[in-house]
Amino acid sequence: MDSEIRKILEAEERRQRDTLQMIPSENYASAAVRALEGSVFANKYSEGYPDRRYYQGNRNVDLVEKLAIERAKKLFAVPHANVQPYSGSPANAAVLFALAEAGDTIMGLKLAAGGHLTHGQPQITFSGRYFRSVQFGLDNEGLLDYEEIHELALREKPKVMIIGTTAYPLVFDWQRFAQIAEEVGAWLVADVAHVAGLILADAYPSPVPHAEVVTTTTHKTLRGPRGAIIMVTERGIRRDPDVAGKIDRAVFPGLQGGPHDNTTAAIAQCLFEAGQPEFRQYGQQIVKNAKALAKGLQEGGLTLVGGGTECHLLLVDLRPLSLSGNVLAEALEVAGIVCNRNAVPNDHMPPFYPSGIRMGTPALTTRGMKEREMETIAQWILQVIEHIEEERLPEKPEARAPFLKEYRKRIAGDPFLQKIAAEVKSLAGNFPVP
Ligand code: DSN
């Protein structure tokens, strides 16, 4: 390997090993998953689907793709699965293109409230430009207001409701979404990218009995490669017996060419892992850990959106401390705690300078950490907050970037943050990464 790349790779290996990865959409894939991603399957072209390829030489690729499909169908209890989408955004794009026409109305949760770009974010995404997007937010407590969603759906009559979240700490009421969708004749698409692994571990409700289509990425709580799966439920097939065909055609040739067969092989492996009894314990522990972390932070006086968590993530509202998400996330990173700044419901600040911090426990749980470690981590986070609580992001938008540049330099060698980073490294050393 080129020495320049090797050096960067080794630095990233150390970073992932010596610090706490608390971005809730990240995880540590197993060595087998990573080996398959880097395997000879990456050399192959396979446009088409198993037994219907446009290229020769796909005997083994067909086996691998069938295995991934069968495992997805069995684990999620669905009659149809497509494992070819390159990632979550292309998966959602394919579903929207399969179920709606240009200009049709789609409905989803606003990005600023924890929805995803592909759930209809206006103007800047295909989902908000190609379709007529109507969106709902959260109430002042940061919770879904099902009555408001119901009224919006009745008024706007969406063709597709694409429902999911990247930052909502409580469980979704899939049955309620299904009742609303049914009443207005909308397709219900559940995007469970964040919680797919929790669903398989019975740690989060499955939308499968309620939705017609389910999409997920494969690299978050599912702990596989960076990829995605689209599933059609019994309900979806009852509604339109050709819906699976429409979705398959929207993926290929509609949006994509050759599938990434190395990723497909790694998906088959991650679904094998997710079918083992240990995976159930893993998923359950993710939620226990998130609850323990939430408790520690709340006891230290922090405000959590939704009042806590029922899943793998929590969202700290920094407005009561007049603290910026950027300021805290930068300091935490110096202290070896890697999370991300995030908008809180009805945030008065723009998305680049939001008033919250999002944290998750999937990666720490993969390393074997439990409630006790979460209590320690909560104390470190509280100490970092106390250390920087006088720091203020400037009010003037043009002064923010220069301030953060200077702030980053100033805190890089901060002895207190470095002391915590050393303690973090020592704790992390007891929990090997895969
Ligand atoms: N970007 C992902 C996340 O961090 O939640 C969602 O796709």
CATH assignment at residue 155? 3.40.640.10
Strand stretches in 233-325, DSSP E = 303-304, 313-317
3 state DSSP class of 342: strand
Angle in degrees, CA 370, 374, 376, rounded to 5? 120
The full DSSP string for 212-223 is SEEEEESSSTT-
As a whole number of angstroms, the distance between CA 293 and CA 311 comes to 12
CA of 63 to the centre of ligand 1 (A): 31
Q: In this structure, what are the phi and psi dihedrals at residue 186, rounded to the nearest 5 degrees?
A: -90, 150
Residue 5 lies in a domain: no
Residue 361 Cβ inside 6 Å of ligand 1? The answer reads: no
Q: At what angle do helices 59-76 and 261-274 cross, to 10 degrees?
A: 40
The answer, yes or no, to whether any atom of ligand 1 lies below 6 A from the CB of 206, is no
The ligand 1 atom at the shortest distance from the C-alpha of residue 340 is 4
Asked whether 90 lines ligand 1 (CB < 6 A), one says no
Q: What secondary structure does DSSP assign to 384-397, as a single string?
A: HHHHHTT----SSH
Which residues span the domain enclosing 181?
Answer: 31-274
User: From the CB of 27, is ligand 1 less than 6 Å away?
Assistant: no
Please say which residue of 274, 309, 332 terminates a domain.
Answer: 274
Kindly state whether residues 100 and 248 are assigned to the same domain: yes
Q: Which of 252, 274, 296 is the last residue of a domain?
A: 274
In-domain check, residue 18:
no
Ligand 1 contacts CB of residue 88 (under 6 A): yes
On whether both 53 and 166 belong to a single domain, the answer is yes
Whole-number pLDDT of residue 144: 97
Same domain, 120 and 82: yes
* End-of-domain residue from the set 241, 274, 307: 274
CA distance 234 to 78: 7
- Ligand 1 centre to CA of 25 (Å) is 6
Q: What is the pLDDT of residue 211?
A: 98
Q: What whole-number distance in Å separates Cα of residue 60 and Cα of residue 357?
A: 45
Give me ligand 1 centre to Cα 238, in Å: 31
pLDDT score at 347: 93
Q: Are residues 148 and 230 in the same domain?
A: yes
Indicate which residue's Cα is closest to atom 6 of ligand 1.
166
If you take atom 3 of ligand 1, which residue's CA is the nearest one?
25
| Distance from chain centroid for Cα 160 | 21
Q: Determine if ligand 1 sits within 6 Å of the CB of residue 25.
A: yes
Burial (CB count <10 Å: 0-12, 13-18, 19+), residue 72: buried
The Cα 229–Cα 191 span in angstroms is 10
Question: Ligand 1 pocket: which of 23, 26, 116, 226 to mutate (most atoms <8 Å of CB)?
Answer: 116
Give the integer Cα–Cα distance in Å for 249 and 232.
Answer: 14
Query: Do 263 and 345 share a domain, yes or no?
Result: no
Residue 426 CA to residue 431 CA, distance in Å, equals 10
Tens of pLDDT along the chain (434 residues)? Answer: 999 999 999 999 999 999 999 999 999 999 999 999 999 999 999 999 999 999 999 999 999 999 999 999 999 999 999 999 999 999 999 999 999 999 999 999 999 899 999 999 999 999 999 999 999 999 988 999 999 999 999 999 999 999 999 999 999 999 999 999 999 999 999 999 999 999 999 999 999 999 999 999 999 999 999 999 999 999 999 999 999 999 999 999 999 999 999 999 999 999 999 999 999 999 999 999 999 999 999 999 999 999 999 999 999 999 999 999 999 999 999 999 999 999 999 999 999 999 999 999 999 999 999 999 999 999 999 999 999 999 999 999 999 999 999 999 999 999 999 999 999 999 999 999 99
The reply to whether 246 and 131 lie within a common domain is yes
Place of tokens 């924890």: 114
Does a structural domain hold residue 336? yes
CA 23 to ligand 1 centroid distance, Å: 9
Q: Pick the residue whose CA is nearest to atom 1 on ligand 1.
A: 25
In a domain, 91, yes or no: yes
Q: Nearest 5°: CA angle at 23, between 302 and 5? A: 145
Q: What CA–CA distance (Å, rounded) separates 29 from 54? A: 31
| Cα of 263 from ligand 1 centre, angstroms | 19
Same domain? For 211 and 337 the reply is no
Domain CATH number, residue 329 = 3.90.1150.10
SS3 call for 109: strand
pLDDT of residue 141: 86
- Partnered with residue 204 across adjacent β-strands are none
Distance CA 21, CA 72 (A): 27
23 Cα nearest atom in ligand 1: 4
CA-CA distance, 211 to 176, in Å (whole number)? Answer: 11
Give the residue, by CA position, lying nearest to ligand 1 atom 5: 166
| H or E element that contains 49 | strand 48-49
The domain tally of the chain equals: 2
| In-domain check, residue 2 | no
Q: What is the DSSP letter of 338?
A: E
Task: Give the residue whose CA is nearest to atom 4 of ligand 1.
Answer: 25
| Residue 15: C-alpha distances to residues 194, 237, 326, 351, 367 (Å) | 23, 46, 20, 26, 14
Catalytic residues: 45, 47, 191, 217, 220, 226
